Amino acid sequence: MTLLIQTLIQGISLGSIYALIALGYTMVYGIAKMLNFAHGDIIMVGAYTIYSTIALAHFPGWLGVLSAVVFCGVLGVVIEFLAYKPLRGAPSLNVLITAIGVSYLLQNIALLIFEGKQKAMPLGDFDFPDLKVGNTGITVTGEVIFTITLTVVLMIALTLFINKTKMGKAMRAVSEDKDAARLMGINVNRTISVTFAIGSILAAFASLCYGMSYAYIKPTTGSMPGIKAFTAAVFGGIGSIPGAMLGGFVIGILEKLSSAYISTQFTDAIVFGVLIVMLVVRPTGLLGKKIREKV
């Protein structure tokens, strides 16, 4: 019982990280109708930004996080402007391949600057006390509490932003019908830029949480969580924001459960296997919208 609860809590924590990343995938897909496979590498960039600010420039921890948030946000907008905007209206395969190219570009730039050797994340400022729950033997680590809290706060903020603000309304309008939105005076390009910025900012926060849990980073750090988060986004129904949150938690819990009860070796096989089953049974994902065919 203790193991189960412990595992579930860890799963929720890992799922939070996936959910934060999955939100970036799903929002960009919803608005720009493209799969931004470079999104996972934004986490890596965020992690290296934190590393550089704290370990190399000796700034305090909060400034490291702030610089990662700003740098990733700007980077997301710049990538969209340079790589994807010129391909607006191009076949989706072209955009997809470009995104993979951007992914490799980011990884190799990081390899040039920081070399392949893994670096320890200098997150001493984010060392929070563990929480022991009575005498049940359950211990919730500080980073787990921090990760879950941060994720919940960010999700509430995002939900309010999408539903309550002018830009949020513009984003929903653009994701439904870009041309009609344009004719209502909405600047579609600016809306897409803001979407990339928000997605990348969430990824920067994810890189903080990831760094806290895994402690070491290398240039390919973003790939695996990126792909898992993509799985989560598809699982929840790509394009759906609640779907990405739900999908993230499901994949995270599934991953922890299977490594605790089945085998750590098979964890990835099980996670991706579940995705395949999902796509066969319910191609639109858990909360995905049905695709309406217009005749």
Partner 1 sequence: MSERKTVMSVNGTEMFSPPSNILIPTRDEGKKPVLDVRGLGIDFGGLRAVDEFTITVSPTEISGLIGPNGAGKTTVFNLLTNVYKPTRGAILLDGHPTAGKSVAQVNRMGIARTFQNIRLFDQMTVLDNVRVGMSNNIRCNFAESFLRLPGYFKAEKRSRERALELLSIFHMESEAYTLAGNLPYGAQRRLEIIRALATEPKVLLLDEPAAGMNPSETHALMESIRQIRDQFGIAIVLIEHDMNLVMGVCEGIAVLNFGKVIAKGTPDQIKNNEAVIEAYLGRQEKKEA
* Footprint on this chain of partner 1 (rule: CB under 8 A): 161, 164-167, 169-170, 172-173, 176-177, 179-188, 289
Closest to 121 in 3D by CA, of 212, 8, 15: 212
In angstroms, the Cα distances linking 65 to 23, 84, 98, 245 are 19, 27, 29, 22
Nearer to partner 1, 174 or 251 (CB): 174
Q: Are 130 and 141 in contact (CB under 8 A)?
A: yes
Q: Are strands 138-140 and 131-133 parallel, antiparallel or unpaired?
A: antiparallel
Q: What's the closest the beta carbon of residue 65 comes to partner 1, in angstroms?
A: 18
241 vs 278 by CB, closer to partner 1: 241
Q: How far apart are CA 45 and CA 239, in angstroms?
A: 24
Separation CA 64–CA 173 (nearest Å)? 35
CB of 144 to partner 1, least distance (A): 28
Note whether 31 and 175 are within 8 A (CB): yes
Start-to-end C-alpha separation, the chain: 54
Q: How far is the CB of 160 from partner 1 (least distance, A)?
A: 8
Q: Which are the contacts of 284, defined by CB distance < 8 A and separation ≥ 6? A: 237, 290, 291
Helix, strand, or coil (residue 133): strand
Tell the smallest beta-carbon distance from residue 175 to partner 1 (Å): 9
Closest to partner 1 by CB, 179 vs 293, is 179
1 vs 183, beta carbon nearer partner 1: 183
Which of 31, 254 has the CB closer to partner 1? 31
Phi, psi (degrees; rounded to nearest 5) at 139: -120, 130
Residue entry with tokens 């994902």: 285
Minimum CB distance to partner 1, residue 151 (Å):
18
Closer residue to partner 1 in complex, CB, 117/294 = 294
Tell the smallest beta-carbon distance from residue 292 to partner 1 (Å): 9
Minimum CB separation from partner 1 for residue 185, in Å? Answer: 4
Which residues make beta-bridge pairs with 216?
A: 120
Cβ burial of 167 (10 Å; 0-12, 13-18, 19+) is middle
The Cα 280–Cα 278 span in angstroms is 5
Is 210 in contact with 225 (CB distance < 8 Å)?
yes
From the CB of 159, what's the least distance to partner 1, in Å? Answer: 13
